[in-house]
Amino acid sequence: MEDTTSHLVTQPKHRSFWLQEVAGDAPDAPPLCGNARANIAIIGGGYVGLWTAIQIKRLDPGSNVAVLEQDICGGGASGRNGGIVLSWWPKLSSLIRLCGVNDALRIARDSQAAIQEIRVLCETHNIDAHFRQAGWLWTATSQAQMGAWDRVVMLCDKMGLDVFQRLSPEEVARRSGSPAHRAGVFEASAATIQPAALVRGLRHIALELGVQIFENTRVQSFSRHQPVVIRTQGGTLTTDRLVIATNAWAASIPELSRSIVAITSDMVMTAPIPDQLQRLGWVGGECITDSQMMVDYYHVTNDRSLAFGKGGWGIAFGGKLGTNFDRNRQRARSVAADLHRYYPGLRDVPITHDWCGPIDRTPNSLPLLGRLGGHRHIVYGVGWSGNGVGPSVIGGKILASLALERDDEWGHYPLIERSVGRFPPEPIRYFGAHLVRAAVVRKEQAEILDQKPSFIAVQLSKLAPTGLEDKK
């Protein structure tokens, strides 16, 4: 059976600041032309796809592995995200509901260890990805957000887990450089990176290991039978096994479409502001998020600029990602307005770059991993929900073991074949998502002003997928 709907879209034209910064690091790999053969093919040249390719070559150096990427490696979410590396500790309650206490703890600990694995990789392979492990401030910027972390912090405390540190309101304001942060907790394992530099480093390692990479190769369809025939605009690739690691573009695959909705992450970047940061007192290097559903996230870059983002503005119809997932100047102005709400003293600082990228959101914000339609030779790892930088390490190990059919700890990982819930079908999903998003915006705008939102806005907001905090 041919899948004629799982095609990938035209590559983005506007590059993120991160991708612009590493432009020219290596020539593009040639696109697929004619007919080719591989033992294992991977669709998607971002974090998950490249980690998978690297892990396969580590486990089975003789495997002929090919990666097909519609743009350049990192041209999608991996080179366009906020550069924040978080664990899954905030999702502990969801993990427990999904697979029980013991497995949940294993997954959360593995996600924390993945951050260290990124650090070691950068050190070992001399990848200048600006890795900085200064921790994460999880804050409240309105009265309604107060205590958003209580559920998971109390759960960790009950289990004797020293994960989150409660901070006084004064300490949160001091460390964040803004009294708009009214309360919060600190988690020490989180890090920040230059995300495009990391993905390009993974690309380099994969090539050194002998992985074939075909860039600027748009997949038009793939068969379900074995061997799998992948059709592109330039030729075909026949493979014994297929790995799908396409992030938000997986929403167009029929078997996965009901479990993924593609939304945007919109970002702005300021000019370097070392003196202003010093005056603000934000000198510790922590990354920061608030507790809105449409979360604000930000950190200070290596050159002392401020990278500031907001999730959830744009929504795709039917998994089709267009230029709205590349750049949107109107949304960028809204993101800048949020930045200035926290830091009004930076209103005169130039915004030098703006861009956006895709997030593959699932109903519970946990990923989908398994075998497509029950076919053992086609596996997938998608739905990272805006927190895939660190967990992609785990995803690569799982998908490598599944693709190689290894009977090991990663081939039987507790996240495999777990249901994350389903969204309504199109067009209900698209119009419903817009309705819910509008309600969330109204609710959170009222809460920012410490006003009571309308009953309808509150009720509709409950239909939104989970954010950082777990829903009760």
276 has pLDDT over 50: yes
For 351-410, the pLDDT digits (tens) are 999 999 999 999 989 999 999 999 999 999 999 999 999 999 999 999 999 999 999 999
For 221-262, the pLDDT digits (tens) are 999 999 999 999 999 999 999 999 999 999 999 999 999 999
What phi, psi does 432 have (nearest 5°)?
-65, -40
Q: Between these two residues, 271 and 437, which has the higher pLDDT value?
A: 271
3-state SS, one letter per residue, for 401-433: HHHHCCCCCCCCCCCECCCCCCCCCCCHHHHHH
Distances in Å between the Cα of 425 and the Cα atoms of 21, 77, 331, 383, 433 are 39, 24, 26, 17, 11
What are the b/e assignments for 285-300, b being 16+ CB within 10 Å? ebbbbbbbbbbbbbbb
The pTM assigned to this predicted structure is 0.94
Q: How many CB atoms lie within 10 A of CB 318?
A: 14
Residue 220: band (very low, low, confident or very high) from pLDDT cuts 50, 70, 90: very high
DSSP 132: B
**pLDDT value at position 313?**
80
Measuring CA to CA, which residue among 381, 362, 391, 380 is closest to residue 464?
362
- Partner residues linked to 267 by β-bridges: 309, 355
> Mean of the pLDDT values across residues 273-290?
95
- Helix (H), strand (E) at residue 443: helix 428-448
Query: How does DSSP assign 352-408, residue by residue?
Result: EEEEEEEEEE-TTS--EEEEGGG-TTEEEEE--TT--TTHHHHHHHHHHHHHHT--S
Average pLDDT over the chain, rounded to an integer: 93
Mean pLDDT is lowest, of 8-12, 195-199, 304-308, for: 8-12
**pLDDT value at position 465?**
79
In angstroms, the CA 200 to CA 22 distance is 8
Let me know: does 175 contact 188? Beta carbons within 8 Å: no
52 has pLDDT over 60: yes
**pLDDT value at position 472?**
52
**pLDDT value at position 281?**
93
**pLDDT value at position 471?**
55
Can you give the C-alpha Rg of the chain in angstroms?
A: 21
Mean pLDDT is lowest, of 5-19, 226-240, 331-345, for: 5-19
DSSP 12: P
45 has pLDDT over 80: yes
In angstroms, the CA 12 to CA 321 distance is 10
**pLDDT value at position 468?**
64
| Region at 326 (left for phi over 0; alpha for psi -120 to 50; beta for the rest) | alpha
Q: 27-32: which pairs have CB atoms within 8 A and are 24 or more residues apart?
A: 28/72, 28/215, 28/216, 29/73, 29/207, 29/213, 29/214, 29/215, 30/214, 30/215, 31/214, 31/215, 31/216, 31/217, 31/232, 31/233, 31/234, 32/68, 32/214, 32/217, 32/232, 32/234, 32/235, 32/237
For 164-212, the pLDDT digits (tens) are 999 999 999 999 999 999 999 999 999 999 999 999 999 999 999 999 9
113 has pLDDT over 80: yes
Residue 270: band (very low, low, confident or very high) from pLDDT cuts 50, 70, 90: very high
